[in-house]
């Protein structure tokens, strides 16, 4: 009798916890201020078919990045497909593909199935409410190509809004504007692991580093 009552209480407690988490995540999504320009940009990009731009001509970048990515993804097939998509989507949005890889490393450690405590999903930890905002509830954010498309469009938009200030743009992407912890991590990963360009070749990074004095920018 006592065991039955305890089991019943356990089930009720579990249901209460699930309900609380769901309500909390929904409330968070509703409280996010949606940029109408970003909404339109996402909708337009997701509606476009970019297969005709799928030309991977950066063989040197592919080879170097493949070696660096091996510690996260043992399967070469998965690595090459991921890198192909990163290069394509980054190029479409005018982003450095190495920066996209750095964001993925910090956001998900290249786990396509990653889900955060607030419901962000996939490689670039995209919030699901964006699907509803642009009228595409069917989109699967765990799918690699879809997740990278969303993530790169959002990141590129914030870089534009921040007028090239990468530190501010990364904080906006993370939802932590005004704090340096997240930009410090991403720029650190970018420069230590993924960079294929020198600091002098990245003037926007150089300017941001000078303005904020990040530790990640103190080495060459």
Domains of the chain: total: 2
Residues 111 and 176 in one domain: yes
**How many whole angstroms separate alpha carbon 33 and alpha carbon 122?**
22
Residues 16 and 54 in one domain: no
Burial class of residue 171 in the structure, from the number of CB atoms within 10 Å of its CB (0-12 exposed, 13-18 middle, 19+ buried): buried
**How many whole angstroms separate alpha carbon 196 and alpha carbon 69?**
14
Residues 80 and 16 in one domain: no
Residues 27 and 37 in one domain: no
Residues 88 and 186 in one domain: yes
pLDDT per position as a tens digit, 1-40: 434 443 443 434 433 333 333 323 333 343 467 777 777 7
Confidence of residue 77 (pLDDT cuts 50, 70, 90): very high
**How many whole angstroms separate alpha carbon 167 and alpha carbon 158?**
10
CA 211 and chain centroid, separation: 24
Residues 119 and 16 in one domain: no
Q: Which two tokens stand for residue 194?
A: 């993924």
- DSSP class of residue 116? -
Residues 103 and 154 in one domain: yes
- Do residues 123 and 81 touch, judged by C-beta distance below 8 A? no
126 pairs with which residues across the strands?
121
Residues 144 and 89 in one domain: yes
Residues 11 and 38 in one domain: no
Angle value at C-alpha 66, between 181 and 189, nearest 5 degrees: 10
**How many whole angstroms separate alpha carbon 11 and alpha carbon 206?**
55
pLDDT per position as a tens digit, 89-114: 999 999 999 999 999 999 999 999 99
pLDDT per position as a tens digit, 108-130: 999 999 999 999 999 999 999 99
**How many whole angstroms separate alpha carbon 89 and alpha carbon 85?**
6
- Do residues 149 and 92 touch, judged by C-beta distance below 8 A? no
Residues 152 and 132 in one domain: yes
CATH number for the domain spanning 136: value is: 1.10.530
Burial class of residue 2 in the structure, from the number of CB atoms within 10 Å of its CB (0-12 exposed, 13-18 middle, 19+ buried): exposed
Closest among 61, 67, 150, 49 to 104, alpha carbons compared: 150
Residues 65 and 23 in one domain: no
**How many whole angstroms separate alpha carbon 74 and alpha carbon 71?**
7
Residues 22 and 56 in one domain: no
Closest among 23, 45, 26, 35 to 133, alpha carbons compared: 35
What pTM was computed for the model?
A: 0.77
- Give the range of the structural domain holding residue 174, as residue numbers without chain letter: 32-217
pLDDT per position as a tens digit, 157-195: 999 999 999 999 999 999 999 899 999 999 999 988 998
């Amino acid at each position: 009798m006592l065991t039955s009552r305890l089991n019943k209480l356990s089930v009720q407690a579990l249901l209460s916890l699930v309900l609380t988490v769901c309500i909390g995540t929904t409330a968070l999504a509703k409280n996010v201020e949606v940029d109408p320009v970003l909404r339109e940009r996402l909708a337009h990009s997701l509606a476009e078919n970019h297969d005709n731009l799928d030309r991977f001509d950066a063989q040197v970048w592919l080879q170097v990045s493949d070696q660096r990515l091996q510690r996260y993804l043992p399967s070469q097939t998965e690595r090459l497909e991921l890198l192909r998509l990163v290069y394509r989507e980054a190029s479409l949005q005018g982003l450095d593909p190495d920066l996209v890889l750095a964001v993925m490393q910090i956001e998900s450690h290249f786990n396509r199935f990653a889900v955060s405590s607030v419901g962000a999903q996939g490689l670039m930890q995209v919030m699901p409410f964006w699907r509803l905002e642009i009228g595409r509830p069917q989109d699967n954010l765990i799918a690699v190509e879809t997740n990278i498309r969303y993530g790169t469009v959002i990141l590129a938009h914030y870089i534009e809004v921040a007028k090239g200030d990468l530190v501010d743009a990364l904080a906006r992407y993370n939802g932590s504007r005004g704090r340096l912890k997240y930009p410090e991590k991403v720029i650190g990963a970018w420069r230590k692991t993924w960079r294929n360009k020198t600091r002098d070749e990245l003037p926007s990074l150089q300017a941001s580093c000078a303005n904020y004095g990040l530790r990640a920018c103190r080495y060459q």
